[in-house]
Amino acid sequence: MNYRQLGQSELKVSELCLGTMTYGQQNSAEEATQQLDYAVAEGINFIDTAEMYPVPPNGETQGRTETYVGYWLARQKRDSLVIATKVTGPARGYDWIRNGPRVTRAHINSAIDGSLKRLQTDYVDLYQIHWPDRNVPMFGQTAYDPYAERETEPIAEQVAALAELIKAGKIRHYGLSNETPWGLAQFCRVADQAGLPRPVSVQNAYNLINRVYEYGMAEMGFREQVSLLAYSPLGFGVLSGKYRKGMHGSGRITLFPGFGQRYGKVNVPEAVAAYAKLAEDHNLAPVTLALAFVRSRWFVGSTIIGATSMAQLQENIASARVNLSPDVLAEIDRIHLRFPNPAP
Protein backbone atom coordinates (compact mmCIF):
# COMPACT_ATOMS: atom_id res chain seq x y z
CA MET A 1 0.00 0.00 0.00
CA ASN A 2 1.29 3.45 -0.90
CA TYR A 3 0.72 6.55 1.21
CA ARG A 4 0.16 10.18 0.27
CA GLN A 5 0.35 13.46 2.15
CA LEU A 6 -3.08 14.94 2.77
CA GLY A 7 -3.08 18.56 1.57
CA GLN A 8 -0.79 20.78 3.60
CA SER A 9 -1.16 18.60 6.69
CA GLU A 10 1.40 16.23 8.15
CA LEU A 11 -1.05 13.33 7.73
CA LYS A 12 0.15 10.41 5.61
CA VAL A 13 -2.86 8.46 4.42
CA SER A 14 -3.13 5.19 2.54
CA GLU A 15 -4.12 5.65 -1.09
CA LEU A 16 -7.22 3.61 -0.32
CA CYS A 17 -9.51 4.74 2.51
CA LEU A 18 -12.09 2.43 4.07
CA GLY A 19 -15.56 3.94 3.95
CA THR A 20 -18.01 2.69 6.55
CA MET A 21 -21.47 3.98 5.67
CA THR A 22 -22.99 0.48 5.41
CA TYR A 23 -22.10 -0.39 9.02
CA GLY A 24 -25.27 -0.58 11.08
CA GLN A 25 -27.62 -1.04 8.12
CA GLN A 26 -26.20 -3.60 5.68
CA ASN A 27 -23.32 -4.73 7.90
CA SER A 28 -23.42 -5.94 11.50
CA ALA A 29 -20.94 -4.92 14.20
CA GLU A 30 -19.13 -8.24 13.74
CA GLU A 31 -18.87 -7.75 9.98
CA ALA A 32 -17.63 -4.19 10.50
CA THR A 33 -14.87 -5.45 12.80
CA GLN A 34 -13.86 -8.11 10.27
CA GLN A 35 -13.65 -5.51 7.49
CA LEU A 36 -11.68 -3.06 9.60
CA ASP A 37 -9.23 -5.74 10.74
CA TYR A 38 -8.68 -6.93 7.18
CA ALA A 39 -8.23 -3.42 5.78
CA VAL A 40 -5.62 -2.49 8.38
CA ALA A 41 -3.78 -5.78 7.84
CA GLU A 42 -3.60 -4.85 4.14
CA GLY A 43 -2.02 -1.48 4.92
CA ILE A 44 -5.02 0.84 5.06
CA ASN A 45 -4.58 3.40 7.84
CA PHE A 46 -7.42 5.77 6.85
CA ILE A 47 -11.02 5.21 8.01
CA ASP A 48 -13.90 7.50 6.98
CA THR A 49 -17.26 7.76 8.73
CA ALA A 50 -19.91 10.38 9.61
CA GLU A 51 -22.36 11.20 12.38
CA MET A 52 -25.20 10.73 9.86
CA TYR A 53 -24.29 7.14 8.93
CA PRO A 54 -25.44 4.50 8.15
CA VAL A 55 -27.23 5.15 4.89
CA PRO A 56 -29.91 5.63 3.96
CA PRO A 57 -30.25 7.93 6.97
CA ASN A 58 -33.00 7.58 9.54
CA GLY A 59 -33.53 8.46 13.17
CA GLU A 60 -33.39 4.89 14.44
CA THR A 61 -29.94 4.06 13.09
CA GLN A 62 -28.22 7.46 13.04
CA GLY A 63 -24.83 7.29 14.78
CA ARG A 64 -24.67 3.50 14.68
CA THR A 65 -21.79 3.48 12.19
CA GLU A 66 -19.58 5.58 14.45
CA THR A 67 -20.56 3.34 17.36
CA TYR A 68 -19.45 0.22 15.47
CA VAL A 69 -16.19 1.88 14.44
CA GLY A 70 -15.73 2.94 18.08
CA TYR A 71 -16.08 -0.65 19.34
CA TRP A 72 -13.20 -1.56 17.07
CA LEU A 73 -11.13 1.60 17.54
CA ALA A 74 -11.02 1.20 21.32
CA ARG A 75 -8.83 -1.90 20.83
CA GLN A 76 -6.44 -0.35 18.32
CA LYS A 77 -3.20 1.62 18.53
CA ARG A 78 -4.86 5.00 18.04
CA ASP A 79 -1.89 6.99 16.74
CA SER A 80 -1.32 4.51 13.89
CA LEU A 81 -4.69 5.39 12.32
CA VAL A 82 -6.20 8.39 10.57
CA ILE A 83 -9.87 8.67 11.56
CA ALA A 84 -12.18 10.99 9.64
CA THR A 85 -15.79 11.86 10.40
CA LYS A 86 -18.29 14.55 9.41
CA VAL A 87 -20.79 17.05 10.78
CA THR A 88 -24.16 16.89 9.02
CA GLY A 89 -25.25 19.88 6.96
CA PRO A 90 -28.76 21.35 6.71
CA ALA A 91 -31.80 21.18 4.47
CA ARG A 92 -32.21 17.47 3.85
CA GLY A 93 -35.01 16.84 6.34
CA TYR A 94 -32.88 15.06 8.95
CA ASP A 95 -34.66 16.65 11.91
CA TRP A 96 -33.69 13.79 14.23
CA ILE A 97 -30.14 15.22 14.19
CA ARG A 98 -30.05 18.17 16.62
CA ASN A 99 -33.66 19.09 15.72
CA GLY A 100 -32.47 20.07 12.25
CA PRO A 101 -28.71 20.06 11.57
CA ARG A 102 -26.75 23.17 10.70
CA VAL A 103 -23.05 24.07 10.52
CA THR A 104 -23.08 26.74 13.23
CA ARG A 105 -20.66 26.86 16.14
CA ALA A 106 -23.22 25.33 18.49
CA HIS A 107 -24.05 22.52 16.07
CA ILE A 108 -20.38 21.83 15.32
CA ASN A 109 -19.55 21.61 19.03
CA SER A 110 -22.50 19.32 19.72
CA ALA A 111 -21.73 17.13 16.73
CA ILE A 112 -18.04 16.61 17.50
CA ASP A 113 -18.76 15.73 21.12
CA GLY A 114 -21.28 13.13 20.00
CA SER A 115 -18.88 11.69 17.44
CA LEU A 116 -15.99 11.47 19.90
CA LYS A 117 -18.19 9.64 22.40
CA ARG A 118 -19.43 7.13 19.83
CA LEU A 119 -15.94 6.64 18.37
CA GLN A 120 -14.44 6.16 21.86
CA THR A 121 -11.56 8.51 21.14
CA ASP A 122 -10.33 11.88 22.37
CA TYR A 123 -9.81 13.32 18.89
CA VAL A 124 -10.41 12.79 15.20
CA ASP A 125 -7.68 13.41 12.68
CA LEU A 126 -9.94 14.91 10.00
CA TYR A 127 -13.30 16.58 10.68
CA GLN A 128 -15.35 17.34 7.58
CA ILE A 129 -18.43 19.43 6.79
CA HIS A 130 -20.59 16.77 5.15
CA TRP A 131 -22.18 19.28 2.77
CA PRO A 132 -22.29 23.08 2.77
CA ASP A 133 -24.49 25.06 5.13
CA ARG A 134 -25.40 27.31 2.21
CA ASN A 135 -27.57 26.56 -0.82
CA VAL A 136 -25.67 24.54 -3.44
CA PRO A 137 -26.66 21.84 -5.97
CA MET A 138 -25.83 18.43 -4.52
CA PHE A 139 -26.11 14.67 -5.01
CA GLY A 140 -26.96 14.60 -8.70
CA GLN A 141 -28.30 18.14 -9.00
CA THR A 142 -26.32 20.14 -11.55
CA ALA A 143 -27.84 23.63 -11.68
CA TYR A 144 -27.48 26.34 -9.05
CA ASP A 145 -30.86 27.81 -8.08
CA PRO A 146 -30.69 31.34 -6.65
CA TYR A 147 -34.36 31.11 -5.65
CA ALA A 148 -33.45 28.36 -3.17
CA GLU A 149 -31.31 30.70 -1.07
CA ARG A 150 -31.80 30.45 2.69
CA GLU A 151 -30.29 31.66 5.93
CA THR A 152 -26.73 30.40 6.19
CA GLU A 153 -23.87 30.53 8.67
CA PRO A 154 -21.05 32.78 7.42
CA ILE A 155 -18.01 30.82 6.31
CA ALA A 156 -15.86 32.94 8.64
CA GLU A 157 -17.88 31.65 11.60
CA GLN A 158 -17.54 28.04 10.45
CA VAL A 159 -13.77 28.41 10.07
CA ALA A 160 -13.48 30.02 13.50
CA ALA A 161 -15.49 27.22 15.13
CA LEU A 162 -13.36 24.53 13.48
CA ALA A 163 -10.18 26.36 14.48
CA GLU A 164 -11.39 26.33 18.09
CA LEU A 165 -11.76 22.55 17.90
CA ILE A 166 -8.19 22.26 16.63
CA LYS A 167 -6.96 24.46 19.48
CA ALA A 168 -8.93 22.36 21.97
CA GLY A 169 -7.33 19.15 20.62
CA LYS A 170 -10.63 17.60 19.56
CA ILE A 171 -9.66 17.56 15.88
CA ARG A 172 -6.30 17.77 14.13
CA HIS A 173 -7.45 19.10 10.76
CA TYR A 174 -10.66 19.89 8.94
CA GLY A 175 -11.94 19.32 5.45
CA LEU A 176 -14.95 19.97 3.23
CA SER A 177 -17.27 17.65 1.31
CA ASN A 178 -19.67 17.99 -1.62
CA GLU A 179 -18.11 21.40 -2.13
CA THR A 180 -17.87 23.77 -5.11
CA PRO A 181 -14.91 25.79 -6.45
CA TRP A 182 -16.40 28.98 -4.99
CA GLY A 183 -16.85 27.37 -1.59
CA LEU A 184 -13.33 25.94 -1.45
CA ALA A 185 -11.88 29.31 -2.51
CA GLN A 186 -13.87 31.11 0.17
CA PHE A 187 -12.81 28.76 2.96
CA CYS A 188 -9.15 29.19 2.00
CA ARG A 189 -9.44 32.98 1.66
CA VAL A 190 -11.32 33.46 4.92
CA ALA A 191 -8.90 31.21 6.82
CA ASP A 192 -5.89 33.10 5.47
CA GLN A 193 -7.39 36.51 6.28
CA ALA A 194 -8.10 35.43 9.86
CA GLY A 195 -4.76 33.65 10.31
CA LEU A 196 -6.60 30.39 10.99
CA PRO A 197 -6.08 26.83 9.68
CA ARG A 198 -7.17 26.06 6.13
CA PRO A 199 -9.06 22.97 4.96
CA VAL A 200 -6.69 20.18 3.95
CA SER A 201 -9.10 18.08 1.90
CA VAL A 202 -12.39 18.01 0.05
CA GLN A 203 -14.48 14.84 -0.25
CA ASN A 204 -16.42 14.89 -3.53
CA ALA A 205 -17.80 12.22 -5.84
CA TYR A 206 -15.37 11.18 -8.56
CA ASN A 207 -15.43 8.16 -10.87
CA LEU A 208 -15.36 7.09 -14.51
CA ILE A 209 -18.89 8.40 -15.11
CA ASN A 210 -18.57 11.54 -12.99
CA ARG A 211 -15.38 13.49 -13.64
CA VAL A 212 -16.89 16.92 -12.91
CA TYR A 213 -14.19 17.52 -10.27
CA GLU A 214 -11.66 17.95 -13.08
CA TYR A 215 -13.33 21.07 -14.49
CA GLY A 216 -12.91 23.58 -11.66
CA MET A 217 -12.09 21.82 -8.45
CA ALA A 218 -8.87 20.21 -9.70
CA GLU A 219 -7.27 23.60 -10.36
CA MET A 220 -8.49 24.90 -7.01
CA GLY A 221 -7.10 21.85 -5.25
CA PHE A 222 -3.73 22.24 -6.98
CA ARG A 223 -3.33 25.96 -6.33
CA GLU A 224 -4.58 25.79 -2.74
CA GLN A 225 -2.91 22.43 -1.95
CA VAL A 226 -6.14 20.70 -0.97
CA SER A 227 -6.42 16.95 -1.65
CA LEU A 228 -9.45 15.19 -3.09
CA LEU A 229 -10.90 12.31 -1.12
CA ALA A 230 -12.78 10.60 -3.94
CA TYR A 231 -16.04 8.99 -2.86
CA SER A 232 -18.27 6.70 -4.95
CA PRO A 233 -15.34 5.52 -7.12
CA LEU A 234 -17.59 2.62 -8.23
CA GLY A 235 -20.71 4.76 -8.65
CA PHE A 236 -22.72 2.92 -5.96
CA GLY A 237 -21.58 -0.35 -7.52
CA VAL A 238 -22.77 0.53 -11.03
CA LEU A 239 -19.19 0.43 -12.36
CA SER A 240 -18.63 -3.03 -10.90
CA GLY A 241 -20.92 -4.38 -13.60
CA LYS A 242 -23.27 -6.11 -11.17
CA TYR A 243 -26.35 -4.27 -12.46
CA ARG A 244 -25.74 -4.89 -16.15
CA LYS A 245 -27.65 -8.20 -16.27
CA GLY A 246 -30.56 -7.16 -14.11
CA MET A 247 -30.85 -5.53 -10.73
CA HIS A 248 -28.71 -7.00 -7.98
CA GLY A 249 -30.77 -7.71 -4.86
CA SER A 250 -28.09 -6.79 -2.31
CA GLY A 251 -27.09 -3.48 -3.87
CA ARG A 252 -28.07 -0.16 -2.32
CA ILE A 253 -29.75 1.02 -5.51
CA THR A 254 -32.17 -1.92 -5.41
CA LEU A 255 -32.54 -2.18 -1.65
CA PHE A 256 -33.35 1.49 -1.19
CA PRO A 257 -35.56 2.92 -3.97
CA GLY A 258 -34.69 6.50 -4.86
CA PHE A 259 -31.15 6.16 -3.55
CA GLY A 260 -28.34 7.05 -5.96
CA GLN A 261 -30.61 8.61 -8.57
CA ARG A 262 -27.71 10.14 -10.47
CA TYR A 263 -26.72 6.64 -11.61
CA GLY A 264 -30.04 6.13 -13.37
CA LYS A 265 -29.51 9.00 -15.79
CA VAL A 266 -29.37 8.86 -19.59
CA ASN A 267 -26.17 7.36 -21.10
CA VAL A 268 -25.09 5.71 -17.84
CA PRO A 269 -25.74 2.12 -19.10
CA GLU A 270 -23.93 2.79 -22.39
CA ALA A 271 -20.93 4.33 -20.66
CA VAL A 272 -20.75 1.53 -18.09
CA ALA A 273 -20.90 -1.06 -20.87
CA ALA A 274 -18.06 0.68 -22.72
CA TYR A 275 -15.83 0.70 -19.63
CA ALA A 276 -16.71 -2.93 -18.89
CA LYS A 277 -15.70 -3.89 -22.43
CA LEU A 278 -12.42 -2.00 -22.05
CA ALA A 279 -11.71 -3.87 -18.82
CA GLU A 280 -12.49 -7.20 -20.48
CA ASP A 281 -10.21 -6.39 -23.43
CA HIS A 282 -7.32 -5.88 -21.02
CA ASN A 283 -8.08 -8.83 -18.73
CA LEU A 284 -9.16 -6.58 -15.88
CA ALA A 285 -12.22 -6.76 -13.69
CA PRO A 286 -14.46 -3.69 -14.07
CA VAL A 287 -13.91 -2.96 -10.36
CA THR A 288 -10.16 -2.95 -10.86
CA LEU A 289 -10.34 -0.64 -13.87
CA ALA A 290 -12.60 1.83 -12.06
CA LEU A 291 -10.61 1.97 -8.84
CA ALA A 292 -7.20 2.00 -10.52
CA PHE A 293 -8.34 4.91 -12.68
CA VAL A 294 -9.35 7.04 -9.70
CA ARG A 295 -6.17 6.13 -7.84
CA SER A 296 -4.09 7.20 -10.86
CA ARG A 297 -5.26 10.82 -10.78
CA TRP A 298 -2.67 13.31 -9.54
CA PHE A 299 -5.21 15.28 -7.48
CA VAL A 300 -6.54 12.32 -5.47
CA GLY A 301 -5.27 12.08 -1.91
CA SER A 302 -7.16 8.86 -1.22
CA THR A 303 -9.87 6.76 -2.87
CA ILE A 304 -12.71 5.82 -0.53
CA ILE A 305 -13.80 2.22 -0.97
CA GLY A 306 -16.71 0.46 0.71
CA ALA A 307 -18.10 -3.06 0.65
CA THR A 308 -20.87 -5.14 2.16
CA SER A 309 -18.99 -8.44 1.83
CA MET A 310 -15.42 -9.54 2.47
CA ALA A 311 -15.14 -10.73 -1.12
CA GLN A 312 -15.96 -7.23 -2.36
CA LEU A 313 -13.50 -5.67 0.07
CA GLN A 314 -10.73 -8.04 -0.95
CA GLU A 315 -11.27 -7.24 -4.63
CA ASN A 316 -11.33 -3.51 -3.93
CA ILE A 317 -8.09 -3.56 -1.94
CA ALA A 318 -6.38 -5.82 -4.49
CA SER A 319 -6.91 -3.07 -7.09
CA ALA A 320 -4.16 -1.07 -5.35
CA ARG A 321 -1.65 -3.48 -6.90
CA VAL A 322 -2.71 -2.55 -10.45
CA ASN A 323 -1.41 0.45 -12.37
CA LEU A 324 -3.15 1.23 -15.65
CA SER A 325 -1.00 1.52 -18.76
CA PRO A 326 -0.90 4.72 -20.85
CA ASP A 327 -2.86 2.88 -23.56
CA VAL A 328 -5.68 1.99 -21.17
CA LEU A 329 -5.80 5.53 -19.80
CA ALA A 330 -6.00 6.88 -23.35
CA GLU A 331 -8.90 4.51 -24.08
CA ILE A 332 -10.66 5.73 -20.95
CA ASP A 333 -10.38 9.30 -22.18
CA ARG A 334 -11.77 8.30 -25.57
CA ILE A 335 -14.82 6.73 -23.90
CA HIS A 336 -15.16 9.83 -21.75
CA LEU A 337 -15.35 11.97 -24.89
CA ARG A 338 -18.22 9.80 -26.14
CA PHE A 339 -20.06 9.79 -22.80
CA PRO A 340 -18.95 12.87 -20.85
CA ASN A 341 -20.08 12.69 -17.23
CA PRO A 342 -23.40 10.87 -17.58
CA ALA A 343 -23.79 10.73 -13.76
CA PRO A 344 -22.71 14.15 -12.45
Question: What is the mean pLDDT of each successive set of 10 residues along the chain, which is 344 residues long?
Answer: 97 98 97 98 98 95 98 98 98 88 98 98 98 90 91 97 98 98 98 98 98 97 98 94 58 54 80 97 98 98 97 98 98 98 94
Could you confirm whether domain 3-237+294-322 is CATH 3.40.50.10110?
Answer: no
pLDDT of amino acid 265: 72
Compute the distance between CA of residue 321 and CA of residue 296 in angstroms, rounded to an integer: 12
User: Where exactly are the structural domains of the chain?
Assistant: 3-237+294-322
Compute the distance between CA of residue 111 and CA of residue 161 in angstroms, rounded to an integer: 12
Helix axes 29-41, 64-73, angle to 10 degrees: 50
pLDDT of amino acid 259: 54
pLDDT of amino acid 242: 65
Task: Assess contact for 14 and 302: CB atoms under 8 A.
Answer: yes
Nearest to 202 by CA among 84, 93, 295: 84
Compute the distance between CA of residue 267 and CA of residue 169 in angstroms, rounded to an integer: 47
Strand-strand pairing, 12-14 and 3-5: antiparallel
Compute the distance between CA of residue 18 and CA of residue 302 in angstroms, rounded to an integer: 10
Q: How far is CA 314 from each of CA 187, 287, 310, 317, rounded to the nearest angstrom?
A: 37, 11, 6, 5
Classify each residue of 231-243 as buried b or exposed e, where b means 16 or more C-beta atoms within 10 Å of its C-beta.
bbbbbbbbbbbbb
Compute the distance between CA of residue 265 and CA of residue 276 in angstroms, rounded to an integer: 18
Coil, strand, or helix at residue 305? strand
- Would you please indicate which residues are annotated as catalytic (active-site) residues? 53
pLDDT of amino acid 241: 80
Q: How far is CA 3 from each of CA 104, 117, 323, rounded to the nearest angstrom?
A: 33, 29, 15
What single string gives the DSSP state of each residue in 153-222? --HHHHHHHHHHHHHHTSEEEEEEES--HHHHHHHHHHHHHHT-PPP-EEEEE-BTTB-GGGTTHHHHHH
Task: Assess contact for 47 and 17: CB atoms under 8 A.
Answer: yes
pLDDT of amino acid 71: 98
**Burial label, 42 (beta-carbon count in 10 A; 0-12, 13-18, 19+):** middle
Coil, strand, or helix at residue 119? helix
pLDDT of amino acid 264: 73
